[in-house]
Amino acid sequence: MTEDFKISVGDWVADNLPKGLVGAHISMYGVVSGDQEVKDAFELWRQRLAAQGWGAPTWPREYGGAGLTDAQAKVVSRAITKAGSTNPIPYLAGMGVTMVGPTLLEYGTPEQKARHLPGMASGEVRWCLGLSEPNAGSDLASLNTSAELDEETWVLNGQKTWTSGADKSQWCGALVRTDRSAAKRNGISFLMLEMDQPGIETRPISLIAGESPFCETFFTNAQARKDDLLGQMNDGWSVIKRLLQHERQSQTNAPAPSTTAEPLQDVAKRYLGTSADGTLTDSDMRSRLADHLMDTAAHELTIARIMTDARGGNVEVSATASILKNSATDVAQGRSELLLEIMGSQGLGWEPGEYSGEETHTVREWLGGKAMSIYGGSYEVQKNIISKNILGLPETTQKG
């Protein structure tokens, strides 16, 4: 990659990022501001990025991408961060750019790609995923939602849960049972369907951390087009395995959540105080904090090493995604627990007022972070993957 490319990307961002948007907080559903001017600036920014193909920069141009390499895409995202903003398209597309899209690129027909990918890449169509069910969480293959083909239409019945953003999405990728007589994993298919139809009802779920993007989603004779089956009929399990690999990768690449850029040890100094020699007065916390910081460094060095290896063609990155997903979880949850303990009784407030925004944010993030070891294949499922797929230990006896 040439230096010229970096310069031209930097110049483009400088010329095209609307001034009114610099530093504005962008959440997963768009810009957080009531100001119409900021909203307009945000929409302009989205359109300009989409026109460049930078919503999904590594996808082919014909599907709304820019045909860039991973390294070039990183240059683009760094340039946007450096300019004080965010690329909102991967958020606006929900599960589209990060998970459904990459899977569609591998399994989709040319018609499916042409119909679905450009909407994701421009951030105009938000996707959710209907995977988990009340009785199919970690054991996803025991799902029960059915789909039957009625001439040109699939008819879906059943209930999904933990469908993130279902109430705000236009499309859904759903895992459904299409053959009840087959063994658990062999009778499943992956369908794509529109959310705005009479057969679909969504109900938001309130979580231990308060409001959440999650919903329960009910299918009552919901309909999908016959040609919106992704991959082969009854081969949905291989489609979903690939999709979940994309999910794990997108999670391990994400930076650890943090309330503030302030290093943990500085927060600790602020709350706990230091001795004359500058060491934390709480020596037990000091020791555990050092342990945590070292675990964090080890995790980050492992990401760096695996990326270097992958470039050298040494390993299959997906084989190590489970290791990184679990260590990312350990690091993030460990950090939240330490922060809460550092804040003491000030780290126990539910609403601001008597508690600072930093403190209540820490509490919510601590609670929300408990999900990290549950979603995307639980902590235990990752350990199963490591022991079987990487270490080659024999399958644990299980039904189905």
Partner 1 sequence: MAVLTEEQTLIKDQATAWAKDKAPVSSFRALRDSKSEQAFLPETWSAMVDMGWSGILVPEQYGGSDLGYLTCGLILEQLGRQLTASPLFSSSLVGASALMLAGNTAQQEALLPSIVNGSALVTLALDESSRHQPEQTACRAEQTGDGFCISGKKTFVAEGMSATHYLVAARTSENPGDAQGISLFIVPAQAEGIERTALPTIDSRDYAKLSFTDVRVEGTAVLGSLDDGMPVLEKVLDRARIGIAAEMLGTASQAFDMTLDYLKTREQFGKVIGSFQALGHRAAALFSLQEQSRSCVEAALQAVDAEADNVSELASLAKCQVGKFLFEMSNELIQIHGGIGMTDEFDAGLYLKRARVLEASFGNRAYHRHRYANLMGF
Binding-site member from 110, 198, 394, 400 for partner 1 (CB under 8 A): 394
Q: Is 280 in the site for partner 1 (CB under 8 A)?
A: yes
- Residue 374 binds partner 1 (CB under 8 A): no
116 interacts with partner 1 by CB under 8 A: no
Span of 85-93, 230-238, 263-271, 359-367 interacting with partner 1 by CB under 8 A: 263-271
290 touches partner 1 (CB under 8 A): yes
| CA separation for the pair 146, 136 (Å, rounded) | 13
Which residues, other chains included, contact 21 with Cβ-Cβ below 8 Å and sequence gap of 6+? 31, 38, 41, 42, 45, 85
Closest contact distance (angstroms) between CB of 337 and partner 1 is 18
Asked if 320 is part of the footprint of partner 1 (rule: CB under 8 A), the reply reads yes
User: Which residue in 269, 361, 364, 370 binds partner 1 (CB under 8 A)?
Assistant: 269
The single residue among 294, 316, 350, 356 that binds partner 1, judged by CB under 8 A, is 294
Least distance to partner 1, CB of residue 387, Å: 4
Q: Which of residues 170-189 bind partner 1 (CB under 8 A)?
A: none
CA distance 69 to 1: 9
Which residues lie closer than 8 Å to 355 by C-beta, 6 or more apart?
346, 349
281 phi and psi, to 5 degrees? -70, -35
291 is a site residue for partner 1 (CB under 8 A): yes
| 393 scored as a contact of partner 1 (CB under 8 A) | yes
- Identify the residue among 31, 323, 338, 342 touching partner 1 (CB under 8 A): 323
367 binds partner 1 (CB under 8 A): no
Nearest to partner 1 of 197, 308 (CB atom): 308
**Which chain residues interact with partner 1 by CB under 8 A?**
265-266, 268-269, 274, 278-280, 286-287, 289-291, 293-295, 297-299, 301-302, 304-305, 308-309, 311-312, 314, 320, 323, 326-327, 380, 382-384, 386-388, 390-397
